């Protein structure tokens, strides 16, 4: 039932520390790019970052920049610029907003981090198509624009089990990157260093998983909307001690919340799953809307996508290949259904929200009847919201709000 309540978001104290380590990360990248002290690799967010780090590259993630453009609501200033040069409004709006911003020579980094004047110029561009083909096309534009080498891993799609054959293939593709990366970095590949980075990444991802699993508690201590911000270090700083230290701090804070019975949402009545991309430009609005409805959105495929259980420093190539291939987005519908069923059951969820993101078909999992199959198997309702990760031309506040409120009214009447 609609009611107007004070819906303030509870601040996670650790966030201050996160802002500092993220600032340090961007300043270090900027310094490296200016001074040439380290080579810079641009890498897709679920790409072979650990290999690049082991070779001494500083790694920049364009998807993180895309999310910043969305969250700061600047994306729609830039998407039309990319549309105008021929990139369709129907393709990834991370791509179009990021390329549009580059063409205009603007970035939210300059406002967030005084002294930074632009993106760190890449020495190499490395992709993994496990997320989608768009990431390859995205980096491809920069390769042409900046005359920088591009290389990457082409993954399998819609697979059920991750077979040894697939792992061997992907591991082989990762190995094949090494000679050229050695040449660009000026460093020899060092297996022990690679193992060290894998161990650090493994520890980071393990802690991130523990952070997300604090939401098994009732009430859940952290919302999906908080988690999309808190995952920053898991994306851009995995492979470092810094990220590990951060997640230890965050985990301790969330465990305290759990022990004290403090939830992200007071009077948590309903617990929901968010499937698909965040609507970056509406994180706060949506967070407050759900708080006002006493509803906690506490589990998601998106935030889980940076949990890499398979990482094994003793077998770094194969385990990285497996970890980056067994993520949700690569898998077939049967796997996706089982995966969500398991989470709904473990987290005690009352419903699922699917975000049909106009420009992100690969991460819009409502399009092949998954909601309907889950309603049938779980006997809980689902709701699909139309929107987009960055392009707010595709999102209607009023439609989304009415749909969400009607969904909660439906849960109330059950």
Instruction: Give the residues lining the site for other proteins (CB under 8 A).
Output: 1-4, 375, 381, 384, 386, 394, 396, 398-399, 402-403, 405-406, 409-410, 413-414
Kindly tell me which of 194 and 395 has the beta carbon lying closer to other proteins. Answer: 395
For the chain, what's the residue count? 414
Kindly tell me which of 62 and 371 has the beta carbon lying closer to other proteins. Answer: 371
| C-alpha separations of 28 from 46, 66, 79, 146 in Å | 21, 20, 28, 21
Shortest distance, position 75 Cβ to other proteins, whole Å: 18
Shortest distance, position 367 Cβ to other proteins, whole Å: 13
| C-alpha separations of 335 from 54, 183, 263, 341 in Å | 33, 40, 31, 10
Strand order in the sheet with 382-387: 295-300, 270-275, 351-357, 382-387
Kindly tell me which of 218 and 269 has the beta carbon lying closer to other proteins. Answer: 269
Shortest distance, position 392 Cβ to other proteins, whole Å: 12
The DSSP code for 119 is: P
Shortest distance, position 405 Cβ to other proteins, whole Å: 5
Rounded to an integer, what distance in angstroms lies between the CA atom of residue 245 and that of residue 160?
Answer: 35
Shortest distance, position 270 Cβ to other proteins, whole Å: 15
Shortest distance, position 354 Cβ to other proteins, whole Å: 12
Kindly tell me which of 2 and 261 has the beta carbon lying closer to other proteins. Answer: 2
Q: Compute φ and ψ for 402, nearest 5 degrees.
A: -60, -45
Kindly tell me which of 362 and 384 has the beta carbon lying closer to other proteins. Answer: 384
Q: Is 107 exposed, middle or buried (0-12, 13-18, 19+ CB in 10 A)?
A: buried
Shortest distance, position 154 Cβ to other proteins, whole Å: 33
Q: Compute φ and ψ for 140, nearest 5 degrees.
A: -60, -35
Kindly tell me which of 8 and 399 has the beta carbon lying closer to other proteins. Answer: 399
Task: Give yes or no for a contact between 71 and 226, defined as CB atoms under 8 angstroms apart.
Answer: no
Shortest distance, position 15 Cβ to other proteins, whole Å: 31
Kindly tell me which of 4 and 260 has the beta carbon lying closer to other proteins. Answer: 4
Rounded to an integer, what distance in angstroms lies between the CA atom of residue 179 and that of residue 177?
Answer: 6
The DSSP code for 218 is: S
Q: Is the omega angle on the peptide bond into residue 219 within 30 degrees of 0, that is, cis?
A: yes
Helix (H, G, I), strand (E, B) or coil at 42: strand
Largest Cα separation within the chain, whole Å, is 65
Shortest distance, position 390 Cβ to other proteins, whole Å: 16
Rounded to an integer, what distance in angstroms lies between the CA atom of residue 267 and that of residue 291?
Answer: 9
Kindly tell me which of 196 and 405 has the beta carbon lying closer to other proteins. Answer: 405
Nearest one of 275, 278, 268 to 222, comparing CA atoms: 268
Kindly tell me which of 253 and 356 has the beta carbon lying closer to other proteins. Answer: 356
């Amino acid at each position: 039932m609609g009611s107007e309540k004070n819906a303030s978001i509870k601040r996670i104290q650790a966030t201050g520390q996160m802002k500092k380590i993220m600032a340090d990360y961007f300043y270090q990248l900027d310094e490296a790019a200016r001074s040439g002290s380290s080579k810079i690799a641009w890498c897709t967010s679920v790409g072979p970052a650990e290999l690049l780090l082991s070779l001494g590259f500083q790694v920049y993630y364009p998807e993180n920049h895309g999310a910043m453009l969305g969250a700061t609501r600047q994306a729609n200033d830039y998407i039309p610029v990319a549309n105008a040069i021929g990139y369709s409004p129907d393709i990834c709006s991370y791509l179009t907003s990021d390329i549009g911003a580059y063409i205009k020579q603007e970035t939210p980094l300059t406002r967030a981090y005084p002294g930074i004047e632009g993106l760190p110029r890449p020495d190499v561009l490395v992709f993994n198509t496990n997320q989608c083909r768009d990431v390859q096309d995205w980096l491809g534009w920069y390769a042409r624009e900046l005359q920088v080498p591009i290389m990457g891993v082409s993954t399998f799609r819609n697979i059920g089990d991750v077979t040894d054959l697939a792992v061997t293939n992907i591991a082989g593709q990762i190995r094949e990157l090494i000679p050229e990366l050695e040449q660009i970095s000026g460093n020899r590949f060092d297996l022990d260093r690679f193992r060290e980075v894998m161990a650090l990444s493994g520890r980071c991802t393990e802690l991130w998983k523990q952070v997300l699993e604090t939401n098994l508690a009732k009430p859940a201590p952290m919302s999906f909307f908080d988690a999309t911000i808190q995952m920053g270090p898991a994306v851009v700083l995995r492979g470092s001690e810094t990220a590990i230290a951060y997640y230890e701090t965050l985990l301790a804070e969330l465990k305290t919340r759990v022990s004290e019975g403090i939830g992200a949402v007071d009077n948590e009545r309903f617990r929901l799953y968010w499937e698909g991309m965040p609507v970056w430009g509406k994180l706060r609005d949506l967070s407050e809307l759900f708080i006002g409805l006493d509803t906690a959105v506490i589990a998601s495929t998106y935030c889980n996508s940076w949990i890499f259980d398979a990482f094994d420093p003793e077998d770094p190539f194969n385990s990285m290949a497996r970890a980056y291939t067994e993520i949700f987005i690569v898998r077939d519908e049967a796997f996706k259904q089982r995966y969500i069923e398991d989470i709904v059951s473990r987290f005690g969820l009352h419903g699922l929200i699917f975000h049909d993101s106009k420009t992100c078909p690969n991460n819009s999992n409502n399009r092949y009847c998954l909601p309907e199959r889950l309603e049938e198997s779980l006997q809980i309702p689902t709701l699909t919201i139309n929107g987009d990760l960055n392009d707010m031309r595709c999102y209607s506040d009023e439609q989304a709000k009415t749909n969400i409120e009607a969904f909660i009214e439906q849960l109330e009447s059950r």
